[in-house]
Amino acid sequence: MSAGIEEVSATNNAAAGSSNGFNKKRRASQSSLPGAEVKKQKKPKKPRYPSLSYVPKNVKVKLHVRDLRDLVLYTVADGRAPTWLAIENRTSIKHLVTVMVPSLYPSDFGLKDTSQFQPVPYHLEDDTELTFFKSKFDHIWPVMAPGTVAALHSPFDDFVEVPLSKEEKKARAQQQKAQKNKKLDPIDCILDLVQMANNNYPIHPLTDKLPPDHITELLPGWVDTAASESKNSKRKVFGLDCEMCEAASGKVVTRITLVSNHDRKTIYDELVKPEEPIIDYLTRYSGITEEMLKDVTKNLAEAQEELLKLISANDILVGHSLESDLNVLKIRHPLVIDTALLYGAKDTRWKPALRNITQRFVGREIQTGKNGHNSEEDAIACLDLLNLKLLHGLDYGVKNDTKNIAERLATSAQGKRTTAVIDYNTNRWVSTPATLVSCKSDDEIVEKASKLCKTVHFTWTKLAEVNSIRHTPTFGKAGEAQPEGDNSEATQQEKLKAAFKNLNTRLERLYESLPNQTLLVVWTGHGNQKRMRELHTKKRNFQLEYNTKKWNEVTSSWTDKDNQELLRATVNARFGAAFIALKSERPTDSSQPATTDTSAEASGDQEAQETETKQDNEK
């Protein structure tokens, strides 16, 4: 009986085992059916490190400063990919830091051929202080600063000003059209507090939006225009221009002209006798001569009193670079219109000459005489330019087709990209969304940048010690014995050597502070401007003599040989350099030159990485 039971049990157990095996196969077959959910164990993703590659021989044209700007936009935002540099796993780059080092020349690294446009390896001398560049960068990239065949333009402007997109241009054109249909008032053209501060205007206590704790007391000899006592008084608009001469302390006013915009009548035109001796009448500019001031007795204090009877703080003063006039007049006024800014490019230090914009927009020649400027003529020209603005709109006569790079990054299609600016002067960035830090030394700049670069996408910095040393005047002429002292040629070379050493230390400190996956760009901005500036001065002196003297009295000269030398010197001045390196978790931090086409290499690397990941998952 028991044997039979054991046998049946064994049979049943065998059947059950067979059934279990069948069910396992059944479940396995069901799991392979379409739509069946299968939980797979997730493997951790391999980190995808960024890398740089380039083929020097494939760089067909010389880089410009704007190419460095576009590299910033591509790396941390949504700009176009550069054709001269391949970045694999670009989105893994979290930060980008630029360091501008003005007056660091390509020749300091052995690059003297200004026709060179491809990145080249450089070999520094063993005793050089710039060892940081040797350890972190393989190549030097020639970069041309903006300009013409005979002039150098601002590398800073070329870097920070980004052209508008087609959509942005269209939107701005519609905005301009709407403004044109809107009737403007002169009050719409006055400078705001930031513009006045950025352009060295004396700040009146009644200036709009001036914080109470920023109101300063009048200095000795200064006066403020007073508010009108009558509430119903109509606001007046005056054109103001002064002629100045040179004294030991600087510019002093010698003629003051005030013109009413209402009827174009000159309501004040007086000569003023400075309290200190004049050392240069600047007649070719001012039109003032010693004979004209011989019998003048009116001093500045008397002129100030007379002007304050004509002008109230409610009135508007119009002039060209009017901060110069108000500073020599020692008058603070809250409502000013500056035609140099009204017709200047947006957010730039470049200011057009009054003569040029009057000829272009008003259609009238001014300052054509050989006896200097005429303050009445200049004041009327400023009023004419203002009235054209009121007629055609604020954007009339202004090249307004760019935006600051910080604004561009903040409106990126990939989301807001943040910017930090650490510099000696951050006034140019005031109206942007960037975090601004003003510093007083290169060491402070490196200290602040080392902290902020970890918290923002793009960091702008500038180190200025090399520039300050190279722009310090030296005594003595070539071939003559140099005097002993702080400004001798030998001393300057020692200072420059020390500045290179300091630059090297600061860049090392900054690099060590950079987080991984950070792209570092060090650039010079421009090349050696010294000879170009000397030739421009020579040409300007000749033109002044030619325009103000009889031809047989001209002592200066300007020949075709000088002109050809100026062209060559300008090329040298525009010839700058850039250095690019990536700090990454990979063993090699700097960019590596490729031996094959960069696009193919990037594609091959991508496929290899995908295959490797697939094999890991299968295992």
Kindly indicate the confidence band of residue 432, based on its pLDDT and cuts at 50, 70 and 90.
confident
Across 61-75, 192-206, 320-334, least confident range: 192-206
Helix (H, G, I), strand (E, B) or coil at 199: coil
| pLDDT at res. 371 | 62
Q: Which of 461, 428, 427 is nearest to 445 (CA)?
A: 461
Mean pLDDT of 12-17: 46
Across 92-106, 196-210, 297-311, least confident range: 196-210
| pLDDT at res. 11 | 42
Helix (H, G, I), strand (E, B) or coil at 287: coil
pLDDT tens per residue across span 372-387? 678 999 999 999 999 9
Q: Which of 50, 91, 80 is nearest to 605 (CA)?
A: 50
Across 6-10, 148-152, 484-488, least confident range: 6-10
Kindly indicate the confidence band of residue 22, based on its pLDDT and cuts at 50, 70 and 90.
very low
pLDDT above 90 (res 324): yes
pLDDT above 50 (res 312): yes
**Would you say 338 and 321 are in contact if contact means Cβ atoms under 8 Å apart?**
yes
pLDDT above 90 (res 584): no
Give the chain's domains with CATH numbers. Answer: 63-164+402-471+489-530+571-583 (3.40.720.10), 174-392 (3.30.420.10)
Helix (H, G, I), strand (E, B) or coil at 333: coil
Strand partners, 580: 521
- Going by the DSSP 8-state scheme, the letter that residue 44 receives in this structure is P
Burial of 79 (0-12, 13-18, 19+ CB in 10 A): middle
Which one has a higher pLDDT value, 367 or 248? 248
pLDDT above 50 (res 440): yes
pLDDT above 80 (res 605): no
| pLDDT at res. 482 | 38
Instruction: Give percent above pLDDT 90 in the chain.
Output: 57
Contacts of 518 (CB under 8 A, 6+ apart): 93, 94, 95, 96, 97, 453, 582, 583
Helical segments of 189-238, H only: 193-198
| pLDDT at res. 18 | 46
Mean pLDDT of 483-500: 76
Which one has a higher pLDDT value, 257 or 605? 257
How far apart, in whole angstroms, are the C-alpha atoms of residue 148 and residue 346? 21
| pLDDT at res. 597 | 42
pLDDT above 70 (res 135): yes
| pLDDT at res. 69 | 97
| pLDDT at res. 569 | 96
| pLDDT at res. 14 | 45
pLDDT above 90 (res 104): yes
| pLDDT at res. 593 | 57
Mean pLDDT of 346-361: 78
Burial of 421 (0-12, 13-18, 19+ CB in 10 A): buried
Q: Tell me the helix, strand and coil percentages in the chain, rounded to 5.
A: 40, 15, 40
| pLDDT at res. 8 | 36
pLDDT above 50 (res 260): yes
Mean pLDDT of the chain, nearest integer: 83
Helix axes 530-548, 560-574, angle to 10 degrees: 140
pLDDT above 80 (res 532): yes
| pLDDT at res. 310 | 96
Kindly indicate the confidence band of residue 34, based on its pLDDT and cuts at 50, 70 and 90.
low
Across 427-441, 467-481, 533-547, least confident range: 467-481
Which one has a higher pLDDT value, 261 or 484? 261
pLDDT tens per residue across span 139-177? 999 999 999 999 898 899 899 989 988 888 888 778 777
| pLDDT at res. 616 | 41
| pLDDT at res. 314 | 95
pLDDT above 90 (res 496): yes
Mean pLDDT of 432-461: 96
- Computed over its alpha carbons, how large is the radius of gyration of the chain? 34
pLDDT above 50 (res 268): yes
Helix (H, G, I), strand (E, B) or coil at 147: strand
How far apart, in whole angstroms, are the C-alpha atoms of residue 164 and residue 170? 9
pLDDT above 50 (res 31): no
Across 114-118, 160-164, 217-221, 584-588, least confident range: 584-588
Residue found under tokens 């870097």: 159
